[in-house]
Structure 1
Amino acid sequence: MPPITTTYGTITSTPTSTSSRAKHTRRPWAELFSISSFSLPISYADAKARIRVNCSYFCVNYVIIMLAIVFLTLLWHPFSMIVFLVTFIFWWFFYFFNDNPIVVFNKTVDDNVVLGVLSFATVILLVLTHVGVNVLVGLVIGVVVVGIHSALRGTEDLGFVGEEEEENGLLPVVGSQPLRPTFGYNRI
């Protein structure tokens, strides 16, 4: 897809890099746990759609929750906690607080690849410290917690346009220009 130029003519970006950056933002915790936004999904398809949108929108928050749960399963294993804290430093610098994309061999690495590599490295390093069962239990608990939260949290108040909606041409219209000319009509 060709780059899209803004009205200023100085900034160019592709939609995929913009949406990738948008997914890499930690959202406010109050927004994540807003009581008024929780409701039961209408159907299985609605639950799947909620999970997809919420996992995209709250990706960094959910990663922090998963890491915290895995950390709690390591409380009685001091050496494993040290290994986890060392890997958490890599999480900190390469994922949580890295505003610039990571470049390896003059190629920009997608945030999802960074997330996958850090997750894999964390699990492997912890399993090598002989706490594989603890890591597995922590990951299962984390997936269940994130899954339940993302299925129950409504997506109507997010103001987030996912990549699937962009591809299908479903974009928000609030504040946009009218599709038809309004000549001869009085605005109220």
Structure 2
Amino acid sequence: MATHDTIPAGGAPTGIGSAVSSSRAAAFRGFLGRISENWQHAVSQSRPWRELVDRTSFAKPDSLSDATGRIRKNVAYFRLNYAILFTAVLALTLISNPASLFLLCGLLAAWIFMYVLRTTPLVLFNRTFNEREVLVLMGLLSIIVVFMTNVGSVLITAAMLGAAIICVHAAFRVPDDFFLDEEVPASGGLLSFLTTGASVQPIATQV
């Protein structure tokens, strides 16, 4: 005799709910795995940190154009190092603001619950919401948490602080000789190190 999924009152079939939950959990684990792999790749492919803090390589730029040129070349060379530094500044800023960190963790927990742990349709005020409506509600909740509280200002402050640190370092660090033979992407920009791309390899200077 064929068996059928049991349908709880006010919910979806338990078999279907379990399948959806397993699928979402697998997708979430895959997402976390990709983040971990990208982070490990960034750390392994970053330039030696001693090059970043070498005191003998720092000097005041002669002009604004000189500083701009240094920023372009240093950002192209230390792209991954600057990305790690930017992430560290963001994390430290959030840790120093526990309320904002708590709100962001709560928002993340809400997304995980809605799209990983939830196995039945969302019902609020005797109304069942479909997946598109759930996405809209979560988007509105995210906007409220980020822009209607101090979370947004904390994130903006952290981003500006990280960018300022990178700009100052890149402007005062004198590019080495092999930078002169490197092709710096024209579309680089200050935060281009956050995009994916092939790392710039140094070209040895011929004697």
* TM, length-normalised to structure 2: 0.44
Larger CA Rg, structure 1 vs 2 = 2
